[in-house]
Amino acid sequence: MAADRTLPWDWFPGKIPANVTVADSAYVETSFSFLLYRSERTSGVTIGRGASTYLGTMFDVGPNGRVSLGDYALVHGARIICDADVTIDDYALISWNVVVMDSYRVPLDPDARRDEVRRLAHRQPRRLEGGAPAQPVCVGRGAWIGFDSCVLPGVTVGAGAIVGARSVVTVDVEPFTIVAGNPARPIRRLTDEEMAHGR
Amino acid sequence: MQPPRENVHDRLPGEAPRWLHGELPVNVRAGQGTTISGDLAFKRFLSGRTPALVLGAHCTMDGVQFAVGADGVVEIGEYCYFTNVVLLCELAVQVGSYVVIGWNVTIADTDFHPIAPALRIADAIACSPLGQGRPRPPIPRQPVVIEDDVWIGPNATILKGVRIGAGAFVEPGALITRDVPARARVAGNPAEVIGRL
């Protein structure tokens, strides 16, 4: 990142917002990832040492949202919808078209939802402003989320867990466990051999 | 991808309808304050119908792709808010008002190809550069209807012939193959009712 907060390699004429912290050794492919960013917190997004975010990653972070990417985290094109706290821990791998969301942003009740949607069109900018309580989401250290998956509000994916492609994770995932499906179900725990391999 | 010249979210309600990347096609009707963004919005908009796309007032169509075939007609009510939706229409897609559809949702009213293997081979030939204008075989298509006040989460898929009842809540990633009752909460692949609102 240059001194004026632009990215020298960027195709998009944008800047990294002032309240975003990017480690010197991290790689952010494009400032387009911050098009929907509007956090007013001291540090709305933190990107750790050696972490990288590629094209397609969108930090859709509301005024009270905060996203933390740990060291060496790899985000290959995820939609991060955050109105409270989304934590992606060190060494986590997030594949393309993944949705990680800590809020539905609309009330469940259809009548309340209509009120929120009607107000939206008369707001500037036109954005849903949290018609639902946010529940923090955490993707643990070294966890791996397969492509097209969704991680829903309130979910914690344990350290070292694997979420299969196109899964929808609705409840917590135990550490070092493989889950898959929609809704995601446990497949198995990593074996002792796998746990020892490469140590 | 082309950078947008301005942000789809920064629009005033009283403004004339607009597509931020060019002139709206002549067979599109849109109400006051309605905004469409995305340079691919009309790349596959091939409908010969007039109108082929009707949008009510105050809609925000952020990055929507209207892939509408020769006979397709899409009707969308007022105050709808779509984000990066891929809308594949060969016949009819009807959406009510106050409908919110999340990022990367696909809606299709067609199977795209026939079921019968021989017809599928004939279709592959008709679609190929060697097809030389050969007509494609008939392909199943059935209207999709999404009623008022429906919410559809990101990464969901809506297939042909489905009616989603008013006020329904479609969880992220759900695959909808059958009708959804009004005010139902549905999730999964294939989607099942998990609650009532």
What integer best gives the mean pLDDT of chain A? 96
| pLDDT higher than threshold 90 for residue A33 | yes
Residues of B near A (Cβ–Cβ under 8 Å) read 1, 3, 7-13, 33, 58-60, 79, 81, 98, 100, 103-104, 148-149, 151, 153-155, 166-167, 169, 171-175, 183, 185, 187-189, 197
Q: Which pLDDT value is given to residue A122?
A: 86
> Which residues of chain A lie closer than 8 angstroms to B151, CB-CB?
104, 106, 113
Decide if B173 and A118 are in contact by the 8 Å CB cutoff: no
Q: What is the pLDDT of residues A52-67, one digit of tens each?
A: 999 999 999 999 999 9
Size of interface A-B (CB pairs under 8 A): 112
Q: A20-105+132-196: which CATH topology?
A: UDP N-Acetylglucosamine Acyltransferase; domain 1 (2.160.10)
Taking contacts as CB-CB distances below 8 angstroms, the residues of chain A near B106 are: none
Å between B92 CA and nearest CA of chain A: 24
Which CATH number does the domain housing residue B165 bear? Answer: 2.160.10.10
Answer yes or no: do A121 and B98 touch at CB < 8 A. no
Mutate to test the interface with B, among A126, A127, A155, A179 (most CBs of B within 10 A): A126
Cβ A35–B7 below 8 Å, yes or no? yes
**Do β-strands B65-68 and A45-47 pair in parallel, antiparallel, or remain unpaired?**
unpaired
pLDDT score recorded for residue B2: 56
- Of the candidates A13, A101, A120, which has its C-beta nearest B3's C-beta? A13
Q: Is B186 exposed, middle or buried (0-12, 13-18, 19+ CB in 10 A)?
A: buried
Alpha helices (H) along A48-142: 110-120
Residue B26: domain span: 18-112+141-196
The Cα-based distances of A6 to A16, A28, A38, A86, A104 in angstroms read 6, 10, 17, 25, 31
ipTM of the assembly? 0.93
In this predicted model, what pLDDT tens digit does every residue of B66-80 receive, in sequence order? 999 999 999 999 999
pTM of the model: 0.93
**Domain coordinates of chain A in residue numbers?**
20-105+132-196
Asked whether residue B191 is domain-assigned, the answer is yes
Q: Does residue B180 lie within any of the structural domains?
A: yes
pLDDT of A55-109, one tens digit each? 999 999 999 999 999 999 999 999 999 999 999 999 999 999 999 999 999 999 9
Domain assignment of residue B134, yes or no: no
- If pLDDT is split at 50, 70 and 90, which confidence band does A114 have? very high
Which residue is associated with the tokens 């995305």? B38
Tell me how crowded residue A124 is: count the other CB atoms within 10 A of its CB.
Answer: 10
**Left, alpha or beta for B191 (phi > 0: left; psi -120 to 50: alpha)?**
beta
User: Could you say which residues of chain B have pLDDT below 50?
Assistant: none
Across chain B, mean pLDDT equals: 94
